[in-house]
Amino acid sequence: MIEEVFNHYYAKSYNLLYKDKDYQQEVDFIHAIYERFSLKHPQQQRPLQLLSLGCGSGNHDLLLSSQYGYSIVGVDRSQAMIEMAKARGGEQPSVEFHCCDIKAMDFKKSFDGVHSLFHVVNYFNTNEDLKKFFQKVADHLSLGGIGIFDTWYGPAVLTERPETRVKKVSDSEWQLWRQATPRLRHQENIVEVHYDLLMKNQKTNELHEIKEMHSMRYLFHPEILEFLAGCGLELIHYGEFLSDKQLTANTWNAYYVCKKV
- Nearest CA to 79 among 133, 6, 1? 6
Strands laid side by side in the 207-217 sheet: 165-170, 174-185, 190-201, 207-217
pLDDT, tens digit, for every residue of 201-233? 999 999 989 898 999 999 999 999 999 999 999
191: enclosing H helix or E strand: strand 190-201
Q: Which amino acid is at 203?
A: K
Amino acid 254: pLDDT: 98
Kindly report the number of other CB atoms within 10 A of residue 157's CB atom. 23
Q: Which amino acid is at 164?
A: T
Q: Which domains does the chain have, with CATH numbers?
A: 2-153+220-260 (3.40.50.150), 156-217 (2.20.130.10)
Name residues whose C-beta falls within 8 Å of residue 6's C-beta, 6 or more positions apart in sequence.
14, 78, 80, 81, 212
Kindly report the number of other CB atoms within 10 A of residue 106's CB atom. 9
| Structure letter (DSSP) for residue 153 | B
What sign for the dihedral angle of Cα 141, 146, 150, 152?
Answer: positive
Mean pLDDT for back-to-back runs of 10 residues, the chain (261 residues): 48 83 97 89 75 96 96 95 89 92 96 97 98 98 97 98 96 93 97 94 91 95 98 98 98 98 95
pLDDT, tens digit, for every residue of 236-249? 999 999 999 999 99
Amino acid 14: pLDDT: 84
